[in-house]
């Protein structure tokens, strides 16, 4: 037997083994098929790509979210969550009634309580978010918990850093989580300054050169700040100057994004997510107690908005972020307004949007006209035809880059968070969305949407079908690999 034949046999054995692993280990048939085509038609390169980016850690549990040491105590807390959620639902008025299935699903499967006593403020763009952040951080008395996908050592990053250092020197416990991929430039200098000043800082799922490919998939995309267990921020805005639109700086790309300030018991689940992430990356053992979950967070506030948090990632038994979006779309009766910077929805979201539109619900989608990823934009375009044929209105934002991740349903429910409408957010990253069951806030976010589409181009369904064949081919080709993006 010559040497070439031996190598061919060995390669076939390896290829069959990899294909078997892909079939066994990949959750969805479309993603499995994409990886199979990749390893078969791109010899060696495809196999290397799969082992770098495609290994399914859902089954391998790279991360275990176990905040409670006592199982009996955890079960008691879960029972209390379900009971309080039922009580809040029963006394929640007419706004919450049509969304019983959504609220109950999150309470039961995500252990996220439906909370009734919350003040919620909509923050449009970084120039409105960061002054509020600095004000709340300055007010901290006991602890500051901050967790970001992207944190940059620039003007706004240093402004927040100075407050964190100041509060740490005053005796406030400051804990800081940064994603080691999204925030890699700060790993040495800024992180060093924080640690010297007494801030506890850890990267989430630290990357090394050899682990770069595999760990690139499982990133912490959350943006969370929790102060003293009763005030929090969540949404799409990272810590970076590019999120701030300063007057007179027309040369800079305009950045459209959305965030929320929450005060009240809706903060407690954000605290739970942070502490779980902290115990994982810091190898700590912080436990739920009165310091982190103060009774004051459950006391009535001036506002009484109902809030529920959907958080999920590779640690989750169910994809709560995806399921909550699907349920919200399915429960709509009049209107759905969706803003997302990356739209690779997968069959479930696509079908839900088509069914809603065909059923008489007005469905409007706002996506970037100016994008930071050509291949993602091309893949997104491959889905537009099906949506347009079903009557969905699609708008491409032209004023700048729209990075907001929001949904408004029937002007009664507002969803603001970190999750894009793509497989990476639904399956690979750690994400968090806030769901607000409140007509006032939903109407406010609806008004923001309609202001945004004034700066957008509406796609004409007829013209879309007539676009050049080579463009359609590029979009369809990008769609083939979209499960891997």
Q: Where are the chain's structural domains?
A: 3-55, 71-91+119-303, 320-484
Q: How confident is the model at residue 72 (pLDDT cuts 50, 70, 90)?
A: low
Query: pLDDT digit string (tens) for 258-315?
Result: 999 999 999 999 999 999 999 999 998 888 888 898 887 777 677 789 999 999 988 7
Query: pLDDT band at 37, cuts 50/70/90?
Result: confident
Look at residue 210 in the predicted model and tell me its pLDDT: 44
- pLDDT reported for residue 1: 53
More confident residue, 191 or 301: 191
Distance CA 188, CA 241 (A): 20
Residue 372 has pLDDT above 70, yes or no: no
Give yes or no for residue 130 having a pLDDT over 60: yes
* Mean pLDDT (whole number) for 72-94: 73
pLDDT of 59 above 50: no
Mean pLDDT of the chain: 87
Distance CA 354, CA 326 (A): 12
Per-residue pLDDT at 75: 63
Q: Is the pTM of this model over 0.85?
A: yes
Return the pLDDT at 31: 72
223, 263, 364, 412: the catalytic one is 223
Residue 440: the pLDDT is 96
Task: Name the fold adopted by 320-484.
Answer: Endonuclease; Chain A (3.30.870)
- Give 52 or 416, the one with higher predicted confidence: 416
* 405 has catalytic annotation: yes
Q: Which of 31, 65, 167, 221 is catalytic?
A: 221
What is the average pLDDT across 434-458? 97
Rounded to 5 degrees, what are φ and ψ at 345? -75, -20
313 vs 223, residue with greater confidence: 223
Given the residues 145, 405, 411, 412, the one annotated as active site: 405
- The answer on pLDDT for 134 being more than 90 is yes
Q: Are 71-91+119-303 and 320-484 equal in CATH topology?
A: yes
How many Cβ atoms from other residues are within 10 Å of residue 404's Cβ?
25
**Residue at token pair 């009763």:** 230
Active-site residue, selected from the candidate residues 403, 412, 422, 452: 403
Share of the chain above pLDDT 70, in %: 87
In tens, the pLDDT along 153-178 reads 999 999 999 999 999 999 999 999 99
Give kind and range of the element (H or E) at residue 169: helix 155-169
Of 74-83, 265-274, 352-361, the range with the lowest mean pLDDT is 74-83
**CB-side exposure of 403: number of CA atoms within 13 Å?**
21
Active-site annotation holder among 228, 315, 422, 427: 228
If you average pLDDT over residues 229-249, what whole number do you get? 92
Q: Is the pLDDT of residue 100 over 50?
A: yes
Task: Please give the pLDDT value at position 231.
Answer: 96
DSSP states along 321-369: HHHHHHHHHHH-SSEEEEE-S-B--HHHHHHHHHHHHHTT-EEEEEEES
**Highest-scoring range by mean pLDDT, 80-89, 290-299, 415-424:** 415-424
Residue 13 makes CB contacts below 8 A (sequence gap 6+) with: none
Of the listed 257, 277, 410, 452, which one is catalytic?
410
More confident residue, 23 or 181: 181
Instruction: Write down the pLDDT at residue 385.
Output: 92
Average pLDDT rounded to a whole number, residues 181-187: 91
- Higher pLDDT: 464 or 352? It is 352
Flag the least confident range among 85-89, 272-276, 415-419: 85-89
Residues 456-477: what's their mean pLDDT? 86
Residue ranges with strand state E in 125-196: 143-148, 173-179
> Which pLDDT does position 409 carry in this prediction?
98
Dist CA 440 CA 303 (whole Å): 11
Q: At what angle do helices 374-389 and 469-480 cross, to 10 degrees?
A: 100
207 or 64: which leads in pLDDT: 207
pLDDT the model gives residue 2:
65
- At 285 the pLDDT is 87
223: annotated active-site residue: yes
Q: Specify the pLDDT at position 68.
A: 56
410 is catalytic: yes
The pLDDT assigned to 241 comes to 95
Sequence-distant (6+) residues with CB within 8 A of 425 are 221, 321, 342, 418, 419, 431
- Residue of 2 and 169 predicted with greater confidence: 169
pLDDT band at 247 (very low <50, low <70, confident <90, very high): confident
DSSP category for residue 425: I
Give me the pLDDT at residue 158, please. Answer: 97
Residue 123's H or E segment, with its range, is strand 115-124
In this model, does residue 377 exceed pLDDT 70? yes
Phi, psi at residue 195, to the nearest 5°?
-65, -40
Q: Quick one: DSSP state of residue 421?
A: B
Superfamily of domain 71-91+119-303: Endonuclease Chain A (3.30.870.10)
User: Residues 184-188: what's their mean pLDDT?
Assistant: 90
Q: Are 431 and 425 in contact (CB under 8 A)?
A: yes
Mean pLDDT over 416-424 rounds to 92
Q: Which two tokens stand for residue 418?
A: 């970190």
**What percentage of the chain exceeds 90 in pLDDT?**
55
Phi, psi of 365 (to 5 degrees): -125, 125
- Give yes or no for residue 108 having a pLDDT over 90: no
| Per-residue confidence band for 56, with pLDDT thresholds at 50, 70 and 90 | low
pLDDT score for 216: 61
Between CA 195 and CA 130 the distance in angstroms is: 23
**What confidence score (pLDDT) does residue 419 get?**
96
Compute the average pLDDT of residues 202-225: 75
Q: Give pLDDT, residue 27.
A: 67
Nearest to 370 by CA among 450, 455, 446: 455
């Amino acid at each position: 037997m010559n040497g070439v034949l031996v190598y061919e046999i060995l390669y076939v054995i390896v290829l069959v083994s990899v294909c078997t692993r892909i079939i066994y280990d990949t959750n969805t048939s479309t993603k499995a098929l994409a990886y199979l085509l990749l390893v078969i038609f791109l010899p060696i390169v495809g196999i290397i790509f799969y082992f770098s980016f495609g290994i399914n850690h859902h089954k391998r549990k790279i991360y275990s979210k176990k905040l409670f040491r006592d199982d009996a105590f955890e079960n008691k807390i879960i029972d209390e969550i379900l009971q309080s959620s039922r009580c809040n639902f029963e006394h929640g008025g007419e706004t919450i009634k049509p969304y019983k299935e959504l609220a109950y699903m999150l309470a039961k499967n995500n252990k996220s309580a439906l909370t009734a006593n919350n003040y919620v403020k909509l923050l449009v763009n970084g120039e409105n978010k960061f002054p509020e952040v600095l004000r709340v951080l300055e007010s901290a008395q006991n602890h500051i918990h901050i967790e970001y996908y992207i944190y940059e050592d620039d003007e706004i990053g240093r402004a927040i850093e100075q407050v964190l250092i100041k509060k740490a020197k005053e005796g406030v416990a400051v804990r800081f989580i940064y994603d080691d991929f999204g925030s890699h430039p700060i790993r040495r200098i800024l992180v060093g300054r924080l640690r010297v000043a007494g801030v506890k800082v850890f990267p989430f799922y630290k990357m090394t050169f050899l682990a770069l490919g595999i760990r690139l998939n499982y990133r912490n995309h959350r943006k969370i700040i929790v102060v003293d267990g009763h005030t929090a921020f969540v949404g799409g805005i990272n810590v970076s100057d590019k999120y701030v639109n300063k007057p007179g700086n027309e040369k800079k790309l305009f950045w459209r994004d959305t965030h929320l300030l929450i005060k009240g018991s809706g903060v407690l689940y954000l605290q739970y997510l942070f502490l779980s992430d902290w115990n994982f990356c810091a190898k700590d053992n912080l436990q739920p107690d009165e310091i982190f979950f103060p009774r004051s967070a459950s006391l009535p506030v001036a506002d009484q908005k109902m809030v529920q948090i959907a958080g999920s990632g590779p640690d989750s038994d169910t994809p709560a972020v995806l399921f909550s979006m699907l349920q919200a779309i399915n429960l709509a009766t009049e209107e759905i307004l969706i803003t997302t910077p990356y739209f690779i929805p997968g069959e479930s979201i696509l079908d839900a949007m088509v069914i809603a539109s065909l059923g008489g619900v007005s469905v409007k989608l706002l996506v970037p006209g100016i994008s930071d990823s050509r291949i993602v934009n091309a893949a997104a375009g491959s889905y537009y035809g099906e949506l347009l044929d079903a009557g969905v209105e699609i708008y491409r934002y032209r004023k700048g880059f729209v990075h907001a991740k929001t949904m408004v349903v029937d002007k009664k429910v507002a969803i603001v968070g970190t999750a894009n409408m793509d497989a990476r957010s639904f399956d690979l990253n750690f994400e968090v969305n806030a769901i607000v069951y409140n007509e006032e806030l939903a109407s406010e976010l609806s008004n923001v949407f309609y202001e945004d589409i004034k700066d957008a181009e509406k796609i004409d369904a007829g013209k879309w079908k007539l676009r050049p064949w080579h463009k359609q081919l590029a979009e369809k080709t990008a769609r083939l690999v979209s499960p891997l993006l």
